[in-house]
Amino acid sequence: MQLLVADSAGFCFGVTRAIKMACAAARRYPHQIYSLGPLIHNPQEVERLKEVGVRVAEDLDKVKEGTVIFRSHGVTMEEANQARERGLKIVDATCPFVKKAQKYASSLSRGGYLVVIVGDKGHPEVHGILSYIKGKWLVTESAQGLKALSGVKKLGVIAQTTQSYKNFQDVVFQTLLVAREVTAFNTICDATRIRQQESVKLAQGVETMIVIGGYNSANTTRLANLCRQVQPSTHHVETERELDASWFKGVQRVGITAGASTPSWLIERVREEVAKIAS
**207 a catalytic residue:** no
Q: What CA–CA distance (Å, rounded) separates 203 from 210?
A: 9
Active-site position among 125, 238, 240, 273: 125
Contacts of 94 (CB under 8 A, 6+ apart): 70, 71, 72, 73, 74, 75, 128
User: φ and ψ at 127, to 5 degrees?
Assistant: -55, -45
* CA 42 centroid distance within chain: 10
Dihedral of CA 167/93/224/137: which sign? negative
Question: What's the distance, Cα to Cα, between the start and end of the chain in Å?
Answer: 8
Residue 101's contacts (CB-CB under 8 Å, 6 or more residues apart) are 125, 129, 158, 159, 160, 161, 185, 187
Angstrom distance (rounded) from CA 269 to CA 279: 15
| Residues listed for the chain | 279
Q: At 19, is the secondary structure helix, strand, or coil?
A: helix
d(CA 266, CA 133): 38
Residues recognised as catalytic: 125
